[in-house]
Chains A and B, each alone.
Chain A
């Protein structure tokens, strides 16, 4: 255990760069990030700074002279037993990496990034949820050979074909636009893929779609800090895009997939990309502004929920402008909007552990049985996830919105689950799905 621990710490701290160094050593423990973390609703110990402290303890012990000499007196030390590991795992997975801690920190410290590194450390010592670990392992290779992946994908592609009413432009080299849906979307929100494809087809765009799924989320390894899996998944996607030769890649997944593709890919694969990566909301806004279509306005009570990775990437105005054009009943969610928007609670792999996805996990050939620490861990995490979903649902109810439009399958899943848990009447849909019958040429 000691040797494993040492090598895990060395590997974890090898990620140090000036920015992570700043994150490690500049926190003054002011706690301004506390009320902005969605998981604070599950308990005061889940404030971002307290969660990041778990990694800082390791860092102090390994890197600082005072930490090495004084140990626990100055909050420095390595995990000593099951209690420490359990606490660290609980802390690491009560974070969805939404970035609210960064947006509200007076020192620009991203505690979520430290918590992501903590997840990597825990994975190295065998403390990653089995389901996420397996998904990460599978995504580091070609996912299409696993379980019923191709059956599910083909079924979605067939629905798209049925919806459009003609043959699909699959893997068409030289297409200007490449639409890249993820396999998670095929599972959670197949209607998003169908709607997005129908819109692209209706607009007469030279587009294409992959005939095989390129990944679960294009970087699912990030959920357990597995950089090698992330790198391999993104390299595969990048190779495919280069083969097609598309100028623009359109994503309908505005969560981790967008962040990984848009901003992390060059760092991970060590190569600059020469194509544009856009979320469908950005792309539609671009076309709408250029007068390529008009939007039929209605009266629906509709609100936009900012997926955390989209809002942290500057995509806030585009979906709002489109939704305002689509309905006079548009309103903002009252408590948190734009850059302070409260996350749905399901990001960074939390939703993938949900009991509701048990059947689908079975179709992927993933083992459902977990024991020991993981059984208790998963049960408690799902309990806390429900608390966060309920909080978010209350906010939607307060807004009076009947439809919450968003741009991420995890947000849609969590918001709809929250609506169900609180007995609310609102429903969450993807922006492509919402706009499908409102776009007029």
Chain B
């Protein structure tokens, strides 16, 4: 059994099982630690204020980052998250097909699918290879119109790889030169794993390093298996922010802002 078959046919259920168990464990801790306490007299705020507080809670850090940490904003927030991982993960046409197979309602997002390439039926604009199948014009004629020049798998993958690589390289001087103890081994491993997923996905799409079917399957297998490792690790690592911590943190902050009248 090859790595592709192993990742697709053997690892899906264990991955989901560990992920679900991990999430249940993490969330249960929040529930068990909750206890009621007498409350202060909070400020009375209007529904509009509450909506604005919610928006502010999400916007403030981004605004603060644009003002004071421009490089981090461009690489870590904009390239890695907004333009890289988020649209790739949820909207790349291959991924929509994958998600839809396991969760059919996801196919509703098909009209928003992002193609691999911007301009032609060739697999790429950056690394031309002979296509292995005929691709119709309608494939690249997406709802994104001219935005497809940016919103295509090639560009987004490269952007995400640049963003991730920058964040990874940035950690070294912080750890070894500035000696900041907050930079941990988990920061490196998480980014390396993400980089493996991005690079292997890009390579599989372009049939790299060679176009024979076994190599393709192995590279794609690495891509899927590494993604499964990430999903399994997700509840126990910083990737948890993606499904819970970020949303909990922002909603709690907005709730505090409502109550304090911020």
Report which of B40, B57, B60, B184 forms a contact with A29, defined as CB distance below 8 A.
B184
Count of B interface residues, CB-CB < 8 Å: 48
Task: Say whether A74 contacts B185, CB under 8 Å.
Answer: yes
- Residues from 40 to 67 in B contacting A, C-beta threshold 8 Å: 40-41, 43, 57, 60-62, 64-65
Report which of B39, B69, B240 forms a contact with A31, defined as CB distance below 8 A.
B69
Report which of B64, B241, B248 forms a contact with A104, defined as CB distance below 8 A.
B64
Task: Say whether B245 contacts A75, CB under 8 Å.
Answer: no
Please, which residue of chain B has its CB at the minimum distance from the CB of A275? B41
Main SS of the interface on chain A?
helix
**Complex Cα distance A279/B179, Å?**
42
Task: Say whether B241 contacts A107, CB under 8 Å.
Answer: yes
Is B181's beta carbon under 8 Å from chain A? Answer: yes
Task: Say whether B64 contacts A32, CB under 8 Å.
Answer: yes
Task: Say whether A107 contacts B249, CB under 8 Å.
Answer: yes
Report which of A22, A53, A266 forms a contact with B249, defined as CB distance below 8 A.
A22
Report which of B39, B69, B236 forms a contact with A35, defined as CB distance below 8 A.
B69
- Residues from 10 to 31 in A contacting B, C-beta threshold 8 Å: 16-19, 21-22, 25-31
Please, which residue of chain B has its CB at the minimum distance from the CB of A315? B261
**Complex Cα distance A25/B29, Å?**
12
Residues in B with CB closer than 8 Å to A271 are: 38
**Complex Cα distance A325/B34, Å?**
46
- A32-B64, A36-B64, A74-B186 as given contacts; A107 in contact with B246, CB under 8 Å: yes
Is B37's beta carbon under 8 Å from chain A? Answer: yes
Is B108's beta carbon under 8 Å from chain A? Answer: no
Residues in A with CB closer than 8 Å to B192 are: none
Task: Say whether B181 contacts A50, CB under 8 Å.
Answer: yes
**Complex Cα distance A353/B183, Å?**
32
Is B260's beta carbon under 8 Å from chain A? Answer: yes
Q: Tell me the smallest distance from the CB of A104 to a CB of chain B, in Å.
A: 4
Residues in A with CB closer than 8 Å to B260 are: 263, 312-314
Q: Tell me the smallest distance from the CB of B223 to a CB of chain A, in Å.
A: 23
Q: Tell me the smallest distance from the CB of A36 to a CB of chain B, in Å.
A: 6
Task: Say whether A314 contacts B261, CB under 8 Å.
Answer: yes
Is A47's beta carbon under 8 Å from chain B? Answer: yes
Task: Say whether B182 contacts A267, CB under 8 Å.
Answer: no
Residues in A with CB closer than 8 Å to B57 are: 108
Q: Tell me the smallest distance from the CB of A259 to a CB of chain B, in Å.
A: 10
Given contacts A18-B30, A35-B68, A105-B249, 5 further A-B contacts (CB under 8 A): A36-B64, A107-B245, A108-B253, A271-B38, A314-B261
